[in-house]
Amino acid sequence: MFSTITPVVKNIIFICVGVFILDKLFANYQVTERLALWKVGTDLFRPYQLFTYMFAHGSIGHLFFNMLSLTFMASSLEMVWGFKRFLTFYLVTGIGAAIIYMALEAFLRPHALGMMVGASGAIYGILVAFGMLFPDREISLMLPPITIKAKYLVFVLGFLGYLMDGSHGQVAHMAHLGGAVTGFFLIKLGRF
């Protein structure tokens, strides 16, 4: 599955890594903070952030695991859909994740202030799409050495992502949920 990294996936990885490097090289310019999604109603929110937040990452681990997940599943989707449909799906699930995140944050945590970054919302959409389109595809895992069907792997990866991220309270789980829900409805409604 790693043998072919498709063009859009390659470019998303290139952009995300490039933004991360630029942020580290030019820390005074606060690249990540400018691209991050800030809460609506604050002086920091800009509409373009619904798009740009998914290309910025908070740490090398955040970037690595998002890009690993993207590499693992997204190329299969791009090969089936073609680059235009795949890119549209990626961006729509990422923007859908941001909108759902903002709505739930406004309702559940109206006084919280913080930024959201990362491709996780779009990647959860891809995870759901992969499981729905290739449910019986067998995936061999190295650790532990087992084979698992994609439809089950989606739940395992989603749950592990939730557990691994949940210890610090800084993770936008609502964005993960938003990306997964957006991806699910796009597939179910026959848009992809």
User: What's the pLDDT score for residue 164?
Assistant: 59
Residue 20 near residue 54 (C-beta atoms within 8 A): no
Q: Which two tokens stand for residue 63?
A: 């970037």
Handedness of CA 171, 71, 183, 39 (dihedral sign): positive
User: What's the pLDDT score for residue 103?
Assistant: 92
CA dihedral 27, 33, 36, 41 (to 10 degrees): -170
Residue 135, preceding bond cis, omega within 30 degrees?
no
The helix-helix angle for 120-133 and 173-188 (nearest 10°) equals: 40
- Mean pLDDT, consecutive 10-residue stretches, the chain (192 aa), reads 81 98 94 94 93 95 91 93 97 96 87 88 94 90 81 79 54 82 93 70
Q: Tell me the domains of the chain and their CATH numbers.
A: 7-188 (1.20.1540.10)
User: What's the pLDDT score for residue 161?
Assistant: 66
What Å distances lie between residue 63 and 38, 56, 59, 139, CA to CA? 19, 8, 6, 23
